[in-house]
Homo-oligomer: A and B are copies of this chain.
Amino acid sequence: MKESLDFIYKQQKELSTYGGIAALLGWDQMTYMPPMGIIKRSEQSSLMSRIIHEKIVSDTFWNHIQILSKPTNYAALSDKDKNVVRRLKKDVEKSRKIPSDFVERMSKTTTFAYSAWEKAKKQNDFSIFLPHLKKIVELEKEYCGYINLTGHLYNNLLDDYEEGMTVDILKKEFDFLKTSLIEILRNITSSNIYEKQKNLNKNLSKEKQREICNIVIEKMNLPFERSRLDVSSHPFTTTMGYDDVRLTTNFERENPLFSFFSTVHEGGHALYELGMPQDEYKDTVISDSPSLGLHESQSRFWENMIARNKNFWKYFYPFFQKTSPDQFKDLDVEKWYNYVNQVQPSLIRVEADELTYCLHVILRFEIELGLMEDKIDVSELPQVWNSKMDEMLGITPKNDKEGVLQDMHWSGGSFGYFPTYAIGTIYSSQLFNQLTKHKPSVYDEIENGHFENIISWLKENVYRHGRIMTADEIIKSCCGEGLNSKVFLDYLKAKYFEIYEI
């Protein structure tokens, strides 16, 4: 027992060290690496991935986990050890289901597929990506066979990102969400306000954008000694260690709202990572998020619930005004708030507004489901995409670059990933609903730029659990119920019907 416990803790610690190294290799690749560094970098990254995989599925590791999982042994463990062993057993058991030759085939296929996708997007030619995507879809099905959960085939993919989530639950929530969103959108687009709304075309230089972003992460209490903000093409957050969590944004667009909201979004991810349980669970499998959906709930919480809130702008709009007094002098905070929350059906998911965003996600979910059920053929994707865009958002992409080729996820084999964006968005509204119900003073705090109590509340209700519970269990323990898109819809209606005077 002692020997097995020592081994599994040592192994987890090494895995966490390798994980941090792999994160640094990835971060550097996206931020500072000279372009030609990629050749050696891909070798470095795959070496780390291979070693991490080998350590996870190693027989010695598995034997020790099994020894500790025997009922008589397990019963004698401390609560902490029980949590760790239970979690490890589930994780390692799952990883060991996947043959290593499959891991290699998938890795090779996605490496080529990613380049093909880049080229296809650049040249606006889906046919370049088509054969690769076909292979990936076949590999995804093969993968499901190895995992072999009960119920829908797609459950096996969902489970990787959102443990325990099923097609049954999601279809119910997403169908309701989709119908309701389309209806709200119709109300909005036929309103007088919508008719008259226009793009205000506010521009800020990169330097000014950087200034604003630095202010907002400081206000969000991101500790500079444990974190930093850099620049990459696509904003992301990554963790090299408990005291080293880094976020990125992008200042290429002249409109400052993209860099601002993406910084706040990534800041939410970073606060979660920085708040992971450490005391007893440091360097264990517990000190992590239980699902991508819950992780996304933390970014969406700050991006939507806080930073798109009217009270937030009462506090924060003056910082924008200060950067460029001329541009903002004729625009009061009320108008600015409405502008920031303008609804406008658009083609690109990452630029979508709060209201239409989930429709982009549901579209991808329906397509993934169709592919797994053999109801859609990969070759039909551009047409299917465009007709679904028309159905949900009433617009059609001019080309595949702005349509089916816009996201990189499928080229990496990340099927089952997209739904977590909507799950997280819904969760964030449930968390905010719960927070404001129990602490109505929160609105005042937001208006005064005080976020300490909000962070404490998130720590208490989300961060500190790490992976002791699943995301579903954490949400239930905090909100009294699991995923509920009705809460999100009520929030949207109250907010947008006011803005659009409906």
Q: In the complex, A4 Cα to B37 Cα: how many Å?
A: 30
- The answer to whether A32 and B240 have CB atoms under 8 Å apart is no
Write out the residue numbers on chain B whose beta carbons fall within 8 Å of the beta carbon of A43: 17
Q: In the complex, A20 Cα to B39 Cα: how many Å?
A: 12
Write out the residue numbers on chain B whose beta carbons fall within 8 Å of the beta carbon of A225: 34-36
Smallest CB–CB gap between A287 and chain B, Å? Answer: 12
Judged by a CB distance under 8 angstroms, whether A41 is at the interface is: yes
Q: A-side binding surface: helix, strand, loop or mixed?
A: helix
| A241-249, A300-308, A319-327, A379-387: which lies at the interface | A241-249
Q: In the complex, A230 Cα to B31 Cα: how many Å?
A: 13
Q: In the complex, A43 Cα to B47 Cα: how many Å?
A: 18
Write out the residue numbers on chain B whose beta carbons fall within 8 Å of the beta carbon of A230: 32
Assuming A34-B224, A225-B34, is B40 touching A240 (CB within 8 A)?
Answer: yes
| A21-29, A160-168, A186-194, A197-205: which lies at the interface | A21-29
- The answer to whether A243 and B47 have CB atoms under 8 Å apart is no
Smallest CB–CB gap between A207 and chain B, Å? Answer: 12
Give A residues with C-beta under 8 Å from B: 14, 17-18, 20-21, 24-25, 28, 32-37, 39-41, 43-44, 47-48, 224-228, 230, 240-244, 246
Integer count of this chain's copies in the complex: 2
Write out the residue numbers on chain B whose beta carbons fall within 8 Å of the beta carbon of A246: 34
Assuming A14-B47, A43-B17, A228-B32, is B25 touching A244 (CB within 8 A)?
Answer: no
20 contacts between A and B (CB under 8 A): A17-B43, A21-B25, A21-B47, A24-B24, A24-B25, A24-B28, A24-B44, A28-B28, A32-B32, A32-B228, A34-B225, A36-B225, A36-B226, A37-B241, A37-B244, A40-B243, A40-B244, A41-B240, A44-B240, A44-B241
Report the 4 A-B pairs with minimum CB-CB distance, sorted nearest first: A40-B241, A37-B244, A36-B243, A35-B225
The residue of chain B having its C-beta at the shortest distance from the C-beta of A51 within the complex is B51
Write out the residue numbers on chain B whose beta carbons fall within 8 Å of the beta carbon of A28: 24, 28
- The answer to whether A40 and B20 have CB atoms under 8 Å apart is yes
- The answer to whether B226 and A34 have CB atoms under 8 Å apart is yes
The residue of chain B having its C-beta at the shortest distance from the C-beta of A13 within the complex is B43
Write out the residue numbers on chain B whose beta carbons fall within 8 Å of the beta carbon of A24: 24-25, 28, 44
Assuming A21-B48, A24-B25, A25-B24, is B242 touching A40 (CB within 8 A)?
Answer: yes
Contact with A40, one of B17, B34, B40, B224 (Cβ below 8 angstroms): B17
- The answer to whether B36 and A244 have CB atoms under 8 Å apart is yes
Write out the residue numbers on chain B whose beta carbons fall within 8 Å of the beta carbon of A244: 33-34, 36-37, 40-41
